[in-house]
Amino acid sequence: MSPLEERIGYKFRNSLLLAEALTHPSLGHITEHLFQHFGDEAEGQLTKLRSRLVSRETLKIHAAALDLGRYLLMGHGEEASGGRERTSTLTDAFEALIGALYLDGGLDTARKFILAQARSVLEQIAEEPVDVNPKGDLQELLQSISPRSPVYELITQSGPEHEKTFVVQAIWEGIVLGQGSGRSKKQAETSAALEAMKLKRWRTLG
């Protein structure tokens, strides 16, 4: 297990906790207890923030960054069916890893790990209020003009697997409304929608 411990920057005192966290099925429910100890944020705000921080897509990105799939202990059948790459398995394993860190090293250890893994997402949240939904707002606005919805076209993706950068453009009625980049396709699409809302290029149709 030492290669994974090196990746996460923590040496387990009780190696059985790490082994249990990486055994399929995982200890997915421990994380819920962990998050109950976080801050005094308003309940509604905390719920929205957490939904972004622990979305399946976000957790899978974190798991991929750690190459977590290769460390999982599972049966041959599960592995043969693609278990090491399955989103549900990776997200459960990442949650279980947090739970194991909490049980072995305490809340501060788990919090330090979570904040390190979530740094890029937290930075995005700081720049973009949780109530903002650029893609939804753009679609609603454009559908008041035309029944067609905007489409998001991937232009490029670059970088290593755990640090990919995606560039996407928003297209509607043949017009490139905006372009954006992000660590995931979803982030890039959100960025493209934000630019489209600023540029308002659909006005050229009128």
- Is the domain of 113 the same as that of 154? no
CATH number for the domain harbouring residue 31: 1.10.1520.10
> Considering 71, 98, 127, which residue would you say is the last residue of a domain?
127
Residues 74-126 pLDDT 10s: 788 887 887 788 888 888 888 888 888 888 888 888 888 888 887 776 666 65
- Is the domain of 90 the same as that of 150? no
Q: pTM of the full predicted structure?
A: 0.46
The yes-or-no verdict on residue 135 having pLDDT over 60 is: yes
Residues 30-52 pLDDT 10s: 534 334 443 444 444 445 555 66
Say how many domains are in the chain.
Answer: 2
pLDDT bucket at 53, cuts 50 / 70 / 90: low
> Considering 127, 162, 196, which residue would you say is the last residue of a domain?
127
- Is the domain of 144 the same as that of 173? yes
- Is the domain of 118 the same as that of 147? no
- Is the domain of 117 the same as that of 156? no
The yes-or-no verdict on residue 59 having pLDDT over 70 is: yes
The pLDDT mean for the chain works out to 77
Residue bearing tokens 């976080």: 38
- Is the domain of 182 the same as that of 99? no
In Å, how far from its chain's centre is CA 74? 24
Query: What is the predicted pLDDT for the residue at 147?
Result: 85
Query: What is the predicted pLDDT for the residue at 54?
Result: 63
> Structural domain of residue 166, as residue ranges?
134-205
Dist CA 109 CA 113 (whole Å): 6
- Is the domain of 83 the same as that of 164? no
> How crowded is residue 36: how many other Cβ atoms within 10 Å of its Cβ?
7
- Is the domain of 121 the same as that of 158? no
- Is the domain of 115 the same as that of 181? no
In Å, how far from its chain's centre is CA 30? 19
Contacts of 124 (CB under 8 A, 6+ apart): 182, 187
The yes-or-no verdict on residue 29 having pLDDT over 60 is: no
CATH number for the domain harbouring residue 199: 3.30.160.20
5-9, 27-31, 137-141, 149-153 — which one is most confidently predicted on average?
149-153
Cis bond before residue 147 (omega within 30° of 0): no
- Is the domain of 12 the same as that of 51? yes
The yes-or-no verdict on residue 191 having pLDDT over 50 is: yes
- Is the domain of 10 the same as that of 85? yes
Dist CA 133 CA 47 (whole Å): 16
Sign of CA dihedral 35, 103, 10, 71: negative
Structure tokens at 19: 């082994």
